[in-house]
Amino acid sequence: MSAPPEVSDSGLLAFMLPRFALKHGVRVTVVESDAEAVLGEAGVPVFAKEGVGVGLVLTTDSPHGETFAAWLTSDIGLRTVLSFKVDGDSVFSEPVVVQEEVAEVALSGDARRGQDASLRACGRCHVIGEINRMAGIGSTPSFAVLRTMGDWQERFEIFYVLNPHPSFTIIPEVIEEFDETRPSPIAPVTVTLEEIEDIVAYVAGIDPADLGAPIAHQ
């Protein structure tokens, strides 16, 4: 897993991870990048520090990651986090529950066509749904995992400027050629703006990956 400095520097991980390991027999390694479980601004709210929410995102479908997410979002996991103290004072608090944003704006794309476009243009790397569940590249987040992010729609609308896509994506009339400073061995992907709208409509209908049980408040 990885965590932002305000979490990792607090000592919470050294307190919490051995407790999780004892309970589930899974040892978690803290890494700087490419983590399977990422604590940060995005994802399912797990706890907060000084009123700022911390979320968890799983970047792969690993069973260990899911066990960790289930534990951290459970009552026991939350109580472990809340019981962490520095000089007798609690550091973390209950997650900030943000009102689910209801998308009022009707999506103009066609979800059915979006599935075809996703499969063709994205399905080589991303698991886009049941339809290519066994395909995709393990280290690439599935659409269902990306769908858990609060700002998933914006990310999909501009995916072509987010890494790694700029090195292989062509959008006719928008991006006609790759950035020459980033030659890429990856076969190019061409998608139209209309297809991106369709893909967003398709992703809107995907159930976000279940990253663990919701927190039961007493």
Binding residues (CB under 6 A) for ligand HEC: these are: 121-122, 124-126, 140-141, 146, 155-156, 159, 162-165, 168, 186, 189, 191, 199
Neighbours of 191 (CB within 10 A): 23
Question: How far apart are CB 45 and ligand HEC at their closest, in Å?
Answer: 18
- Please state, in angstroms and as integers, the Cα–Cα distance from residue 162 to each residue in 53, 88, 157, 177, following that order: 24, 43, 10, 16
Q: Which CB sits closer to ligand HEC, 84 or 202?
A: 202
Question: How far apart are CB 196 and ligand HEC at their closest, in Å?
Answer: 7
d(CA 149, CA 50): 22
Question: How far apart are CB 155 and ligand HEC at their closest, in Å?
Answer: 4
d(CA 216, CA 218): 6
Question: How far apart are CB 214 and ligand HEC at their closest, in Å?
Answer: 24
Q: Which CB sits closer to ligand HEC, 69 or 191?
A: 191
Q: Which CB sits closer to ligand HEC, 80 or 142?
A: 142
Residue 6 in contact with residue 91, Cβ under 8 Å?
no
- Please state, in angstroms and as integers, the Cα–Cα distance from residue 193 to each residue in 114, 150, 168, 170, following that order: 11, 22, 16, 10
Q: Which CB sits closer to ligand HEC, 30 or 161?
A: 161
